[in-house]
Amino acid sequence: MDAIYIPQLTKAPERTEEIQVKEFLPGLETLTPVRGRVRVQHHGNYLEVSGQAEAIITCTCNRCLQQYNHRLTVDTKEIIWLDETANQTNDLPLEREVAMEDLVETLLPDGYFYPTEWLYEQMCLELPQRQLCDLNCPGILTSDTESSDQPVDNRWASLEAIKKQLPG
């Protein structure tokens, strides 16, 4: 996805750009391309960004350690403020500092919006923190009935890579 030059948006029909997504996102390990759309609308002093997307990822069950596929879906909307002082933290008046705490994200009015990075962040936020192959997963079975299916394979490595990219 190409970066969007924010001033250009004001000249677009309805000040809106909609991007169809069907690609693998850099840094996000998915079995299928991320499919969906990102919509960016310019509202003067802020951008309204919404996105719907989905992809299949491979998870490892926290209880039984077997791998399973999970459908990762995003359906979200975010306000991004346009502020001349975005990315500047020095010499702000006090009132400004208080206000800044409420702002989730700001961009320069004459800067760029990066839909790929934005969607990547949204997908990461949806990664399941607790991964269970089944709500009733009994954990690692000690009986010999189900012991030898689904051998662990080298996708472990890529899963570890995903975990390292999780924020916090």
What is the rounded CA–CA span in Å between residue 111 and residue 18? 18
Q: Give whichever of 15 and 63 is closer to Zn ion, judged by the CB atom.
A: 63
Contacts with Zn ion by CB under 5 A lie at 61, 63-64, 133, 137
Q: Give whichever of 45 and 142 is closer to Zn ion, judged by the CB atom.
A: 142
Q: Give whichever of 32 and 62 is closer to Zn ion, judged by the CB atom.
A: 62
Residue 73 neighbours by CB under 8 Å, 6+ apart: 52, 53, 54, 126
- Give the nearest distance from C-beta 136 to Zn ion in angstroms: 9
Could you give phi then psi for residue 135, rounded to 5 degrees?
-55, -30
What is the rounded CA–CA span in Å between residue 14 and residue 50? 15
What is the rounded CA–CA span in Å between residue 65 and residue 52? 30
Q: Give whichever of 87 and 147 is closer to Zn ion, judged by the CB atom.
A: 147
- Give the nearest distance from C-beta 140 to Zn ion in angstroms: 8
Position of minimal CB gap to Zn ion: 61
- Give the nearest distance from C-beta 57 to Zn ion in angstroms: 16
What is the rounded CA–CA span in Å between residue 5 and residue 8? 5
- Give the nearest distance from C-beta 151 to Zn ion in angstroms: 15
